Amino acid sequence: MPINNAPASDNRDVLKEIAHRAMASRGLEPDFTPQATARLNGITKPAAESGGDVKDLRALLWCSIDNDDSRDLDQISVAEAMTGGLTKILIAVADVDAVVTKGSPIDAHARTNTTSVYTAAEVFWMLPPKLCTDLTSLNEEQDRLALVMELHVAENGQVMDSLVYRAMVRNRAKLAYNSVAAWLDGKGAMPARIGQVPGLEANLRLQDRVAQSMKEMRHSHGALVLETLQTHAVFTGDTLSDLCPDEKNRAKELIEDFMIGANTAVAKFLVAKGIPSLRRVLQKPHRWDRIVELARRLGEQLPVEPDSTALARFLAIRQKKDPTRFPDLSLSVVKLLGKGEYIVEVPGQKIEGHFALAVRDYTHSTAPNRRYPDVITHRLLKSALQGGGSPYSQDDLRALAQHCTEQEDNAARVERQVSKSAAALLLANRVGEKFDAIVTAASEQGTWVRILRPPIEGKLARGASGADVGDQIHVELLSVDVERGFIDFGRWSSDASGGAAHGSPGQGGR
């Protein structure tokens, strides 16, 4: 059956086929090896407490906040008031390495892919679901080994001190971003699970206050506010029924600020121990001149040399002035900033930090169920805590840094490919319909537009002359190609004759 003519009931299977081909073409393994499966069969329980250096913190009011459908829970958090106006924030991260040993068949699969790949129809897990959604996941009311990052935060949001250690923890409540955010913003009822755990309501209020102060402190140092438009597929059974936008909210920001603090604490800890580490960096943008030009066209001025604080101010102004178009401005800035990458930090060697986050010391350590660099960092941490040297040579770390960067890019390409195919599939029966749209990109390579509902982007293959970024126009859907994820629109004229702008349709949405 041709993919473009697949019946609606086969939507999920069609996208799965596309996703599997995309994985294989990008050097990613869609399936676990027989050796990994055999090793998995021998793992029947989570890691138990081991060694006198493991603290028992199971009595604390830990909770997780994640997506409604998240099953791979990497971290939980809790707050404690301290003297002198300080607040102790504890972030516990699943100790995946305690179950997935270095060099094992399961580790080999994780090392190959380096990340879980979340496509519209299927998740290609970095670790077998039996582990990442159960035995190594910080599931509700389950005892789990974890690495804990303890932050001592002042009232102004500055982290005054930090510690790293091992502990046994227990998630008291599995919560979801949207419902927690609505409650914190006073727009929704308190999630029932919060009320069922005595003391959790007050603890979450304290976590929120501290996270807000940490965010303000980061932004004062030049951390960027970016709001790109991301969507997730909605299925009714196996039929794709919609693409809904994922929006930032207060609960997501709470977790984001804690994770940045935790990752910074880990990086500084490894420096203090004299152990090379895998850093996550975003270097000063090489295309800063284009960002300056983008600001100039919007009536704002940026300095000649890269300056994250100035860019943060510019973005804050534009978000307030034009919130509707801010996601498109954010996307342009993201593309011009360039990509993040992994590099090796050797003690005594000065490296650039993360330009967008406005931090110098930064690693990835808070998502080991879905991201291999975090597993590497945990192994470095545990070795340092035990007083040993690095379990990886510097050459190994450099090779892993390059490999993880490349595979992360490949995974992102797979996710984009399947997202585009899902968008084309959703519009497959709507060729000829008219939509309101906004121009999102215009260059020699072509002009792209995003229709407003559903929020889908495609190429303006007809009537692109004179269209510029930010223009609000009317378009007609000309064609789709589900396999390649191409979507073509034509500009629709509302002149007296009622005719459409002329031109030749091509293949867009690339």
**What pLDDT, in 10s, does the model give residues 439-469?**
888 888 899 999 988 889 999 999 999 888 7
Residue 284 in this model has a pLDDT that exceeds 90: no
**Band of pLDDT at residue 389, cut at 50, 70 and 90:** confident
Number of H helices, E strands in the chain: 13, 18
Q: What is the pLDDT of residue 391?
A: 94
Residue 177, both tokens = 């971003």
Q: Report d(CA 151, CA 91) in Å as an integer.
A: 8
Backbone angles phi, psi at 220, to 5 degrees: -65, -25
Residue span(s) of the chain under CATH 2.40.50.140 come to: 430-491
Q: What is the pLDDT of residue 508?
A: 43
Contact by Cβ (8 Å): 490, 467: no
Residue 119 in this model has a pLDDT that exceeds 80: yes
Own/partner contacts of 272-277, CB < 8 Å, gap of 24 or more, are 273/384, 274/347, 275/347, 275/380, 275/383, 275/384, 275/389, 275/390, 276/344, 276/345, 276/346, 276/347, 276/380, 276/390, 276/392, 276/394, 276/397, 277/344, 277/345, 277/363, 277/377, 277/380, 277/397
Q: What is the pLDDT of residue 494?
A: 57
pTM: 0.88
Q: Report d(CA 372, CA 125) in Å as an integer.
A: 11
Please give the CATH number for the structural domain made up of 430-491: 2.40.50.140
Residue 225 vs residue 481, higher pLDDT? 481
Q: Report d(CA 284, CA 19) in Å as an integer.
A: 34
Residue 495 in this model has a pLDDT that exceeds 50: no
pLDDT digits (tens, 9 = 90+) for 148-187: 999 999 999 999 999 999 999 999 999 999 999 999 999 9
Residue 355 in this model has a pLDDT that exceeds 80: no
**Band of pLDDT at residue 348, cut at 50, 70 and 90:** confident
- Mean pLDDT value of segment 314-339: 85
User: Which residues neighbour 340 within 8 Å (Cβ) at sequence distance 6 or greater?
Assistant: 280, 281, 282, 354
Q: What is the pLDDT of residue 493?
A: 73
Residue 239 in this model has a pLDDT that exceeds 60: yes
Identify the CA nearest to 144 among candidates 111, 95, 102: 95
pLDDT digits (tens, 9 = 90+) for 294-314: 899 889 999 999 988 899 889
Q: Report d(CA 83, CA 333) in Å as an integer.
A: 42
Q: What is the pLDDT of residue 504?
A: 35
pLDDT digits (tens, 9 = 90+) for 72-106: 999 999 999 999 999 999 999 999 999 999 999 99
CA separation (Å) from 32 to 74, 128, 167, 454?
21, 8, 30, 35
Residue 287 vs residue 40, higher pLDDT? 40
Q: Report the chain's mean pLDDT, rounded to a whole number.
A: 90
